[in-house]
Amino acid sequence: MSSIPIANPDLGDEEIRRVAEIIDSGMVADGPTVRQFESEFADYCDASHAVATSNGTTALHAAFEALGIGPGDRVVTTPFSFVASANAIRLAGAEPVFADIDPETYNLDPHAVARLLAEEGDTIDAILAVHLYGLPANVEPLAKLADTYDLQLVEDAAQAHGATYEGGRVGAFGDAACFSFYPTKNMTTGEGGMITTDRSEVAKRAAQFVNHGRSDTYEHVELGHNFRMTSIGAAIGLVQLEKLPEYVADRRQNARMLTKRLRNQPAVTTPTEPTYSRHAYHQYTIRCRDRDGLKAYLDDAGIGASVYYPTPIHEQPAYDHVSVDAPVAERAAEEVLSLPVHPKLSTDDVRSITTVVQSYYD
């Protein structure tokens, strides 16, 4: 293990106590604790409803099912994300259609989406905007495009817990939004996911889909899966949600220190934060010269840097049938490198990280 790891989940005595209470109660599967977590997470996002799921991918899949996105439908999204973003579209039976990214934010480029819709708008049914690395996508122009072309808008907020767009937290800007609670995320439930929405019918359909299509009784009104969250996971999530504002503040402080110490290094481009956004820094991602050499140098120094993501989705073997023109995403995949930014970093850790980066180029 690296002496300064890329991620370091913060799970302590309070999480242990809450989990022990669940175990003592005997109600370890889906139950009242999950309902409480859903309610508090919806409030945090200023959304009307939330539906807990087993992970972020199942959240996306269930959201598309609840929105009626399925066979014959096409969803515009980014090729520069974790593959789950596109996989969930396919798992729902729909087809992902890729538009290129903004070179500074790494998020879906509204201009690229507009060009694609001008050519293929009558065949498109939804937009999936990914808030990559914890930086909100530019939602307003995407929402306007969705209105113009009568499309549904979904937020993939798997990495963006606590991020804000125009002063509002991500999770309430689209027809639905999806979060992941994997251990490396800004908050965790061990494994888990969440759908947020202001549309009551979408929340109802999602809740049914993640529970075998079941209504309040043993009547199964549609086909569904077992995508439920456990009460153990929800108990952890309730504690983590309380800590989330502090986690985000710590990540932002660490990011400020990293940027201050790296911004004058000509071989490195530090992350951007547009005026419309408040970055949650799930990842602190630089663009750099000789990325692979720098990563190996950091590895040798015991610093856990990682590449998210070395291969755009459309170049993955599972997508070799897809033809995409996305040069900006392809270049980013060759140049990006994420440095540790998690809340457990000390000031000395930040100095060590930046000193090693500087020494590589010096």
The pLDDT assigned to 1 comes to 52
The pLDDT assigned to 217 comes to 77
| 326-341 pLDDT tens trace | 999 999 999 999 999 9
The pLDDT assigned to 216 comes to 77
Plot region of 316 (φ>0 → left; ψ -120 to 50 → alpha; else → beta): beta
Instruction: Give the three-class secondary structure for 188.
Output: coil
CA 266 to chain centre: 29
Question: Which runs of consecutive H residues, i.e. helices, occur in the chain?
Answer: 13-25, 32-45, 56-66, 84-91, 110-120, 139-148, 200-209, 231-262, 291-300, 327-335, 347-361
The pLDDT assigned to 215 comes to 86
In the chain, the domains with their CATH numbers are 13-240 (3.40.640.10), 245-361 (3.90.1150.10)
Q: Which residues of the chain have pLDDT under 50?
A: none
Q: Identify residue 46 by its one-letter amino acid code.
A: D
**pTM of this prediction?**
0.97
